[in-house]
Amino acid sequence: MSGQASDKPVLRIRIDFPDRPSLGPGKIRLLEEIEAAGSIAAAARGMGMSYRRAWLLVDELNSMFAGPLVATQLGGARGGGAVVTPAGHQVIAHYRRVETEAGRATADLLAGLDQAEPE
Amino acid sequence: MSGQASDKPVLRIRIDFPDRPSLGPGKIRLLEEIEAAGSIAAAARGMGMSYRRAWLLVDELNSMFAGPLVATQLGGARGGGAVVTPAGHQVIAHYRRVETEAGRATADLLAGLDQAEPE
């Protein structure tokens, strides 16, 4: 779940809430994969995650904010499809913005840490 | 491993390197617990972690930077004691500084995310 490769240290973030489960790179990537794949099962496969675990994470995500982040369609023509809701898009964008701002604010510090490499 | 309690969302960080294992809250807390407890076994107990897992994490930490972050003393009067080296103190301080800067840079954004609470 470390995202794209980089030749420099990359800051990953997790947001801990006082009253809810955490929001970290795994859940955000799952949302993005659901968006791309159109179903929870396909997203889980793409991430090498069990369907059950993906479903539990979606259930958790859907209880964390004012409305659900993923809407599922049981049966029907597309059988078992899932879409990311507007609230879900907002959460993804918000998280990625926090990540970008945090990375920007600490880029120089991170470069300094990287220089302490093994000999 | 979520650290102190808070009534607001808290940013946790993990640093992914291109060529080494990641540095996240678990490893940093382990270093801090070793510093406080004076041994890997006591630190592991304090974190509810197996001694084996703690030892593997220390081994990983000791290979990540120019020098070891934890020095162990096998046997002797204090039998099995461990201390955090100056390099280890630098890594802890550096990590906490990255965390602080990242948190400062994103405090307003985080507050905004928290407002999207379940109804």
Restricting to A residues 7-66, those with a Cβ less than 8 Å away from any Cβ of B are 7-18, 20, 22-24, 63-66
Q: Rounded to a whole number, what is the distance in angstroms from the first to the last CA of chain B?
A: 28
CB contact under 8 A, A12 and B10: no
Note the pLDDT tens digit of each residue in A1-12. 444 557 888 999
ipTM: 0.80
The reply to whether residue A22 touches residue B5, judged by beta carbons under 8 angstroms, is no
Q: What is the pLDDT of residues A76-100, one digit of tens each?
A: 555 579 999 999 999 999 999 999 9
How many whole angstroms separate alpha carbon B86 and alpha carbon A97? 35
Residues A2-57 pLDDT 10s: 445 578 889 999 999 988 999 999 999 999 999 999 999 999 999 999 999 999 99
Confidence of residue A119 (pLDDT cuts 50, 70, 90): very low
Which residue, among B11, B20, B97, would best test binding to A if mutated, counting the most A CBs under 10 Å from its CB?
B11
Do the beta carbons of residue A49 and residue A40 sit within 8 Å? no
Distance CA B17, CA A66 (A): 36
What stretch of H or E contains A33?
Answer: helix A25-37
CA atoms within 13 A on the CB side of A91: 31
Encoded tokens for B86: 């100056």
Q: Would the CB atoms of A66 and B119 count as touching at under 8 Å?
A: yes
State how far the alpha carbon of A105 is from the alpha carbons of B9, B24, B90, B96, in Å.
Answer: 18, 18, 20, 14
Q: Which of residues 60-119 of A touch B (CB under 8 A)?
A: 63-66, 87, 90-91, 94-95, 97-98, 101-106, 109-110, 112-114, 116-119
**Pure H helices in B1-119:** 25-37, 40-47, 51-64, 86-114
What is the DSSP secondary structure assignment for residue A8, as one 8-state letter?
S
Instruction: Determine the Cα–Cα distance for residues B101 and B71; give it in Å rounded to an integer.
Output: 29
A114, closest residue in chain B (CA to CA):
B17
How many CA atoms, within 13 angstroms, populate the side-chain half-sphere of residue A5? 3
